[in-house]
Copies of this chain bind each other. A is one copy, B any other.
Amino acid sequence: MSLVIVGSLAFDTIETPNNRKEKIIGGSCAYAALAASFFTTPNIVAVVGEDFPQDVIELFKSRGIDTSGLEIKKGKTFHWEGRYDDDPNFRTTIRTDLNVFRDFKPNLSQEYRNADIVFLGNIDPDLQDDVLAQVKNPKLLAMDTINLWINTKKDGLLQVIKNVDYFFANDEEIKLLADEKNLIKAGKKILKTGPSLVAIKKGEHGALVIEKDFIFGMLAYPCEDVVDPTGAGDSFAGAFLGYLDKVKSYREKDIRTAAVMGSTMASFIIEDFGIERFKKLTAEEIECRFNAFKQLVSF
């Protein structure tokens, strides 16, 4: 068993300065799993309502995603509505209907419990902790979070962070969690609480990987038209871990490449609404963009 992703599947209603899309497919699990599917065969643990489109589940399957951990429950799928500012780094949540997600209790199959890599999407820290209690000796435990949990369940969240290997968050979240304004200091402070690696997503400014023995940074791909920033962070984490699952190695060299793969996939997903860009993305495009990242920073 390779990579297991636990997270949300949702309908997202998204408003940008130039457009509005009603109830398109979203959720951390959708983005992370699709991004990872370009490198490995991920397994998902999530819940949806009866209204979740079968063709999306078919899309997941066609991309090699194992959906046996996807629970279809009586009721409606989680619905999130948000609005982006002119500056795509800022968004406002307008509405959250948890629906069937309210009672989500991730329960991993025996096979999933033996996963090499487990990624805990940005769900409630209590649920993340539940999953930690289920998995047996994984090679890599990774997690993401959001401001909501830092503000409302900090102690529980820190308890989970203590027990994972890789912690993904954006710059704002890291600074908030560490109560520290210098990003490097903030990252190192989190590192001291348990994880061996902190991956900091900085939107248009790229990403930083702070590991015990090295720091690796990459720029964002110079994008002139960010259509929809939703899912960039989840795609980053999904591709990062999907790549490591593919190469079955966690050496410095592999981590650096994994982080660029994460940035590469994040740079694609923002080019269209929701998961649209991943539907038509090719291996050639990924290779070409990866090389463009290399070119961008070469000297």
- CA distance in complex: A113, B295 (Å): 37
A226 to B295, CA, bound (A): 29
Q: Are A217 and B216 in contact (CB under 8 A)?
A: no
Report Cα–Cα, A185/B216, bound state, in Å: 27
A127 at the interface (CB under 8 A from B): no
**B208 adjacent to A222 (CB under 8 Å):** yes
Complex copy number for this chain: 2
A17 to chain B, nearest CB (A): 9
Query: How many of chain A's residues touch chain B, expressed as a range?
Result: 35 or more
Would you call B86 and A181 a contact (CB within 8 A)? yes
A111 within 8 A of B: no
With contact pairs A202-B205, A206-B219 given, residues A226 and B297 touching in the complex (Cβ less than 8 Å): no
Closest to A295 in B: B214
A205 surroundings in chain B (CB, below 8 A): 202, 205-206
Which of chain B's residues has its CB closest to A187's CB?
B222
Residue from B183, B204, B215 within 8 A of A204 (CB atoms): B183
A216-B299 CB under 8 A given contacts A202-B205, A222-B184, A224-B185: yes
- Determine the chain B residues whose CB is within 8 A of the CB of A216 once the complex forms: 296-299
Give CA–CA (A167, B215) in the complex, Å: 31
Query: Which residues A177-205 have CB closer than 8 A to chain B?
Result: 181-185, 188, 202, 204-205
In the complex, whether A225 has a CB less than 8 A from a CB of chain B is yes
Q: Which residues of B contact A214 (CB under 8 A)?
A: 295
- A87 located at the interface, meaning its Cβ lies under 8 Å from any Cβ of chain B in the complex: yes
Is the C-beta of A218 less than 8 angstroms from some C-beta in chain B?
yes
The yes or no answer to A45 lying at the interface (CB within 8 A) is no
Report the separation of the CA atoms of residues A181 and B295 in the bound assembly, to the nearest whole angstrom: 25
Chain B hits for A202, CB < 8 A? 205
What are the residues of chain B within 8 A of A246 when measuring CB–CB? none
Is A74 in contact with chain B by the CB < 8 A criterion?
no
The answer to whether the Cβ of A257 comes within 8 Å of any Cβ in the partner chain is yes
In the complex, chain B residues whose CB is within 8 Å of the CB of A297: 216-219, 297
Can you name the residue of chain B whose Cβ is closest to the Cβ of A225?
Answer: B182
A294 within 8 A of B: yes
Asked if A5 is at the interface of the complex by the 8 Å CB criterion, the answer is: no
| A98 at the binding interface (Cβ < 8 Å) | no
- 12 more CB-based (< 8 A) A-B contacts, given A215-B222, A256-B298: A182-B223, A182-B225, A184-B222, A184-B224, A208-B219, A217-B219, A217-B222, A217-B297, A218-B219, A219-B219, A219-B297, A294-B299
Closest A-B pairs by Cβ, 10 of them: A256-B299, A205-B205, A217-B219, A297-B297, A184-B222, A184-B224, A185-B224, A86-B181, A215-B222, A260-B299
Contacts from A to B (Cβ < 8 Å) = 86-87, 181-185, 188, 202, 204-206, 208, 214-219, 222-226, 253, 256-257, 259-260, 294-299
